[in-house]
Amino acid sequence: MSEKTDCPTLKVLPLGGLGEIGLNMMLFEYEDTIVIVDCGLMFPEEEMLGIDIVIPDFSYLLRNKEKVAALVVTHGHEDHIGAIPFLVREFSLPIYGTALTLALIREKLREHNLLDRVELMQIAPREAAEIGPFSFEFIRVCHSIPDGVGLAIRTPVGVIVHTGDFKIDNTPIDGQRFDIARLGSYGEEGVLALFSDSTNVEREGYTVSEKEVGVTLRNVIQEKRGRVMVAVFASNLHRIQQLIHIAREFGRKVLLNGKSMMTNVRIARELGYLDFTKEDEISIQDLPYLPDSQVLMLTTGTQGEPMSALSRMAFNDHKKLKVREGDTIILSSRFIPGNERTIQNIINHLCRNGAEVIHEQVKDIHVSGHAYQEELKMMINVVQPRFFIPVHGEYRHLVKHRKLAMSVGIAPANCLLIENGAVLCFTGDSAGVKGKIETGRVFVDGKGVGDVGGLVLRDRRHLSEDGLVIASLVVDKATHEILSGPDIFSRGFIHEEAKPEILYEGQCIIFENIDRQLAETRELDCALLQEQIRRDLKRFFIRILDRRPVIYPIVVEI
């Protein structure tokens, strides 16, 4: 795909975020320049056993390293910035973003000792970054984190609008309104293509304003006389600000709990994004000296993460904080699909400890940061693109968003449905997919990046579902006499004391294999013997128990 053509061609290549939630990363390539938009992670799915995070595959970028000019970031959520440290290990490049976004990235790079490899370039809304043949203008949008922007990208073939994550909130907490006027001016000028957030395309109508959630939270907290603990995303600074104001109104002091909560609030305070004074805050050491009616705790753990502060409190594993009778726990977030059982388990344990738990299925204590259908239609009508490409969502979201675009007048042939790896090519008057590049997911497990693949995950699933059997044997190399064993140990397979006869029969199978091989060849081939033991034990366990454990024979000659 690198050959030059007679017509100038812009290539847009998504490396993540199309056909999935998270992992957002898109490349804009023109001749010898590549600019990256966002570089996010995805949290592991249920079958990704032991994986910490998932990041995009950078293979295409590594093959075109000399072309990579910059990274432009739309906002500071993990699914848009979480993979940046792994990118910076491979590329030393400038990163463009708004003040809060860059502050969050700076903190992340500092933790990885990578700050000296990048130049952080702060851009304000309605300002532009000139990068090679591109001009990226930042356009303010509303989202569940401050300083979010969409992008108007001037390219040699026309203007591209990339919405980033957005909603249209006419009463934003910080007073920074969605800049529909600037988007409209681009619509009047002429937009070649619109790449638009599809996350909430299945929801009809308009999103509720963040201020309405504040009213509900105020009413709930007003009537409580005990301690109130609110679990909220640490990045949702608008929600945090409202809770600080509510605490101040009702004479409560705010306790921050959880590493990410404390980090994000500190950064927002330093930048002036939060009205949060020292008089408003208390520490854990202050708790014994305050009546319960004067405590409001902000904590992490909205999705039941095992090591989060809320989870540790629910299971009485927190060293300094205990949930007790009279506490009210508010889960001010939505249940992310796949986390429902974990969250319900947390709720049950909180209730066992005597707390009252309020969540989104009981009261309207959360709103999304992503646009609903009517806002998505408005975006299309304001921008008036020639071509429309849905992004950020699972495949069904992309399909639904394409249909929505057609319903407001975009020609079906101009509504392009693409997935990760597609090479979408634009000229001044045409657009289409002209091939595919290698993409994928890279698993991060501890300090290992990419060393866990499909085979390792398959083995982990096998071990988790069927257990492990180890058969060990030591024989004399010269006489073939058995010096030790055969011993059979199991983990996650059967209780050895409950069914010793099964393991005894397994030992007999090993003896039979040794006798058979010696009778046939008068020699012991350890590799062949191990394979025969594995095969016969497998057949035996299937016949007796209908189970298929991982069988690991060890035959040692000395």
Q: Which residues are annotated as catalytic?
A: 197, 370
Note whether 93 and 69 are within 8 A (CB): yes
**3 state SS of 377:** helix
Strands of the 53-56 sheet, one edge to the other: 53-56, 441-445, 448-449
Q: Distance of alpha carbon 265 from its chain centroid, rounded?
A: 21
Rounded (10°) angle between helices 180-189 and 373-383: 40
> Residue 418 corresponds to which amino acid?
I
Helices (H), 125-258: 180-189, 210-222, 237-249
Q: How many residues can be counted in the chain? A: 558
Instruction: Give the H/E segment covering residue 505.
Output: helix 500-521
Separation between Cα atoms, residue 397 and residue 417, nearest integer Å: 11
Tokens read off for 213 = 């959630």
- The CA-atom distances, in angstroms, between 164 and each of 59, 75, 446, 547 are 24, 8, 30, 49
Q: What is the DSSP string of 312-347?
A: HHHTT--SS----TT-EEEE-S---TT-HHHHHHHH
Separation between Cα atoms, residue 397 and residue 415, nearest integer Å: 14
Q: What is the DSSP string of 254-297?
A: EEEESHHHHHHHHHHHHHT-----GGGEE-GGGGGGS-GGGEEE
Separation between Cα atoms, residue 481 and residue 524, nearest integer Å: 10
